[in-house]
């Protein structure tokens, strides 16, 4: 239960909307109870009055009360659902933003222990589960408590002992059954949450790894593993359904016993009247309707186990501290972009073998350098250090003479543009995909960036309003690379880092992109990670990496003259 306390603070941001939802729920419950109570009394009183009392019995006032209660119940239920769900969605919106804001500083070091499917499950499913906290716990419990007090107070005007008996039974039911089913449902809820996350993670892995699983003959084995998790999940759901049925059965049993007791006791007299007549029906139907307020409470506490388990899973992420922290302020955005990497050594967490060993590399402002090497030699790791995804264990990195660790995050991000190997295309308009790099850019600047990278054909039909991604236009590999470069140009940072920008492209498209980079990045400091040899003659310098070290560097012409690593690569090509 303690895991839920931090999330309750989110409700304070919308406390008036939540209070309005609870108030509407109470009004709806009281209207429903009043409708059934008044209807029962009215029918009984009308039957007792008979045709002889047609002139002495007031039919109009109770009929108006029945219609009024019915209208209030219908309207109250509608607006209660509207307000409650709106409040819940607003809370979930802030919770998702909060969760993502806690996840982002942990990337990538703090999230390396989680799989992508697991993170997605926590960000989406666990957050969604927390809506039970208000809709199924807070609102029903508060409504039940107020209803018990209101029913007891109203009936006490007619017969205080009967009113206190009914109120006491309802209060005792609430205080006993809610904790009972919370304790019974907690282990099942925790198991359900874990199995749900495990099943979805295994399903995503199975779908993504179909090719490898079939090649190595492990598809059937993995499918059995998935089915085993699914069977356990279904068994946990069956147990929870059994608890739900038991709670409903107990509630019906207690309600039936209470109604029978009210019928028996009220028949003996109500408020000193030994012949209560229609008041018997009033107490019986009131007791029957009042238990409607208690019906969702036991089920709510039963599902509270899932809510608590989801809250604990999110709290595990919230309590993590980022591996890299940024100062609140630092040097101003540099106009130039000289990079100095001095004796840098870096080792990934839980990996004893260093990814970089005493690496030293100086890049002058405006210089274009290609970082060449085999897969796994540490090229991409160096780019991650330059963006402060990680900090080195030894050595230093400086930007224009200032330590990279002295820059605040906003300034550093403004000084560096990154074109990753995997370019993400969001399911949104072309304008939205470009504005990620420069939110203040106008349409003319966006169109100019597309033209510079050769993507002006994307503007032919709907212009910047063209929908990309799912449900829209799909881009080829070359177009995706060009879009990433357009984002980098819009960002207009003095340092440009590229990670395998031509990976998976044909020779013609690769030449076009390299020529484009050479032209549009003139005057910018450019460091391109690659293991391909095409187009390297246009770079000012080529650095060869092997096992986390710079083993050779120089211009294309100079490296060709010596019998070194670069000439060996050219010879093999």
pLDDT at 55 over 70: no
Asked if 49 contacts 57 with a C-beta cutoff of 8 angstroms, the reply is yes
Average pLDDT over residues 135-158: 85
Q: What is the mean pLDDT of residues 391-415?
A: 86
Has residue 573 got a pLDDT over 70? no
- Under the banding of pLDDT at 50, 70 and 90, the label for residue 78 is very high
Q: Are the C-beta atoms of residues 539 and 370 closer than 8 Å to each other? A: yes
pTM above 0.75, yes or no: no
Q: How confident is the model over 51-76, as a mean pLDDT?
A: 78
Alpha-carbon distance 71 to 98, whole Å? 40
Q: Is the pLDDT of residue 5 over 60?
A: yes
Q: With 60 as the cut, is the pLDDT of residue 280 above it?
A: yes
The whole-angstrom separation of Cα 142 and Cα 34 is 19
- List, in sequence order, every residue forming a beta bridge with 468; answer none if it has no partner: 473
Q: Is the pLDDT of residue 204 over 70?
A: yes
Q: Determine if the peptide bond prior to 393 is cis (ω within 30°).
A: no
**What proportions of the chain, in percent to the nearest 5, are helix, strand and coil?**
65, 10, 25
The band of 79, judged by pLDDT with boundaries at 50, 70 and 90, is very high
What b-and-e string marks burial along 122-131, b requiring 16 or more CB atoms within 10 Å of the CB? bbeebbebbb
Q: Mean pLDDT across the chain, nearest whole number?
A: 82
Task: Considering only residues 332 and 35, tell me which one the structure prediction assigns the higher pLDDT.
Answer: 35
Whether 324 has a pLDDT exceeding 70, the answer reads yes
As a CATH number, domain 2-318 is 1.20.1560.10
pLDDT digits (tens, 9 = 90+) for 220-237: 888 888 899 889 989 988
For the chain, give every residue range classified as CATH 1.20.1560.10.
Answer: 2-318
Give the per-residue pLDDT at 275.
77
* Span 26-50, average pLDDT: 84
Helix (H, G, I), strand (E, B) or coil at 270: strand
Q: What whole-number distance in Å separates Cα of residue 114 and Cα of residue 5?
A: 25
Judge contact between 431 and 445, C-beta under 8 A: no
Q: Report which of 84, 96, 177 is spatially closest to residue 129, judged by C-alpha positions.
A: 96
Say what the pLDDT of residue 419 is: 86
Position of tokens 């709106």?
86
Q: Which residue did the predictor score with more confidence, 487 or 507? A: 487
Q: Is 427 helix (H, G, I), strand (E, B) or coil?
A: coil
How many angstroms separate the CA atoms of 196 and 230, rounded? 9
Backbone angles phi, psi at 525, to 5 degrees: -80, 120
Q: Is 242 left (phi over 0), alpha (psi -120 to 50) or beta?
A: alpha
Give me the mean pLDDT over the 122-132 stretch.
Answer: 75
Does 53 score more than 60 pLDDT? no
Give 488's contacts (C-beta < 8 A, 6+ positions apart): 417, 418, 419, 437, 496
Higher pLDDT, 572 or 252: 252
The torsion angle over the Cα atoms of residues 542, 548, 550 and 552, rounded to 10 degrees, is -70
Q: Please state whether the peptide bond connecting residue 272 to the residue before it is cis, i.e. omega within 30 degrees of 0.
A: no
CATH 3.40.50.300 in the chain, residue ranges: 339-425+475-572
Domain 339-425+475-572 in CATH 3.40.50.1820? The answer is no
What's residue 231's pLDDT? 92
Q: Which residues, in sequence order, are bridge partners of residue 549? A: 546
Q: In a 3-state reduction of DSSP, which class is residue 320?
A: coil
The pLDDT value given to residue 71: 92
Burial zone of 193 (CB within 10 Å; 0-12 exposed, 13-18 middle, 19+ buried): buried
Strands 402-403 and 368-372: unpaired
Residue 52 in this model has a pLDDT that exceeds 60:
no
pLDDT > 90: percent of the chain: 2
Concatenate the DSSP letters of all residues of 460-499 into one string: SSSGGG-BBSTTSBPPPHHHHHHHHHHHHHHHT-SEEEEE
**Maximum average pLDDT range among 48-57, 303-312, 481-490, 562-571:** 481-490
Tokens standing for residue 124: 């989406």
Structure tokens at 314: 């999110």
398-402 mean pLDDT: 85
The pLDDT tens digits for 499-554 are 888 776 677 777 877 887 888 788 888 898 887 777 788 888 888 888 888 888 88
Judged against a pLDDT cut of 80, whether residue 263 lies above it is answered with yes
Band the pLDDT of 3: cuts 50, 70, 90: low
CA distances, 216 to each of 221, 223, 226, 247 (Å)? 11, 14, 17, 49
CA atoms within 13 A on the CB side of 20: 13
* Sequence-ordered list of residues with C-beta below 8 angstroms from that of 357, at least 6 positions apart, any chain: 345, 547, 548, 549
């Amino acid at each position: 239960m303690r895991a839920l306390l931090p999330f309750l603070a989110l409700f304070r941001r919308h406390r008036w909307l939540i209070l309005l939802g609870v108030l509407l729920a109470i009004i709806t419950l009281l209207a429903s109870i009043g409708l059934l109570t008044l209807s029962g009394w009215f029918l009984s009183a009308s039957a007792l009055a008979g045709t002889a009392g047609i002139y002495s019995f007031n039919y109009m006032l109770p009929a108006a009360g029945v219609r009024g209660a019915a209208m209030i119940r219908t309207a109250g239920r509608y607006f209660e659902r509207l307000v409650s769900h709106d409040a819940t969605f607003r809370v979930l919106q802030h919770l998702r933003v909060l969760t993502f804001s806690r996840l982002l500083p942990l990337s990538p070091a703090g999230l390396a222990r989680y799989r992508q499917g697991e993170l997605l499950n926590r960000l989406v499913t666990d957050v969604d589960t927390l809506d039970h906290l208000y809709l199924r716990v807070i609102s029903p419990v508060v409504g039940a408590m107020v209803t018990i007090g209101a029913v007891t107070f109203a009936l006490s005007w007619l017969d205080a002992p009967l009113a206190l008996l009914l109120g006491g039974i309802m209060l005792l039911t609430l205080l006993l059954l809610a904790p009972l089913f919370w304790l019974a449902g907690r282990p099942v809820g925790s198991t359900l949450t874990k199995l749900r996350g495990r099943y979805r993670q295994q399903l995503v892995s199975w779908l993504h790894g179909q090719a490898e699983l079939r090649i190595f003959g492990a598809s059937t084995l993995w499918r059995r593993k998935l089915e085993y998790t699914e069977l356990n999940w279904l068994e946990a759901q069956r147990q929870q359904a059994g608890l739900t049925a038991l709670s409903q059965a107990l509630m019906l049993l207690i309600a039936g016993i209470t109604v029978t007791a009210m019928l028996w006791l009220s028949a003996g007299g109500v408020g000193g009247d030994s012949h209560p007549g229609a008041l018997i029906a009033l107490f019986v139907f009131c007791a029957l309707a009042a238990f409607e307020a208690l019906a969702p409470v036991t089920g709510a506490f039963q599902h509270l186990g899932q809510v608590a388990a989801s809250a604990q899973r999110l709290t595990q992420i919230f309590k993590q501290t980022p591996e890299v922290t940024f100062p609140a302020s630092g040097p101003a955005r540099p106009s130039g972009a000289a990079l100095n990497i001095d004796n840098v050594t870096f080792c990934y967490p839980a990996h004893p073998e260093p990814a970089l060993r005493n690496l030293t590399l100086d890049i002058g402002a405006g210089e274009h350098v290609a970082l060449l090497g085999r897969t796994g030699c540490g090229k991409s790791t160096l780019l991650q250090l330059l963006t402060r995804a990680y900090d080195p264990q030894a050595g230093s990195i400086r930007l224009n003479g200032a330590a990279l660790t002295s820059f605040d995050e906003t300034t550093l991000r403004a000084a560096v543009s990154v074109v990753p190997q995997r370019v993400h295309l969001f399911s949104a308009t072309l304008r939205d995909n470009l504005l990620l790099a420069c939110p203040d850019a106008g349409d003319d600047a966006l169109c100019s960036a597309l033209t510079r990278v050769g993507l002006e054909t994307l503007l032919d039909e709907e212009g910047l309003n063209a929908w990309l991604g799912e449900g829209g236009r799909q881009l080829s590999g070359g177009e995706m690379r060009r879009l990433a470069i357009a984002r980098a140009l819009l960002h207009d940072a003095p340092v440009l880092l590229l990670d395998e920008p031509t990976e998976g492209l044909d020779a013609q498209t690769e030449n076009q992109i390299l020529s484009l980079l050479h032209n549009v990045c003139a005057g910018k400091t450019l460091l391109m990670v690659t293991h391909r040899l095409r187009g390297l003659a246009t770079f000012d310098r080529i650095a060869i990496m092997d096992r986390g070290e710079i083993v050779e560097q120089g211009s294309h012409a100079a490296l060709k003259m010596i019998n070194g690593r670069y000439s060996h690569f050219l010879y093999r090509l």
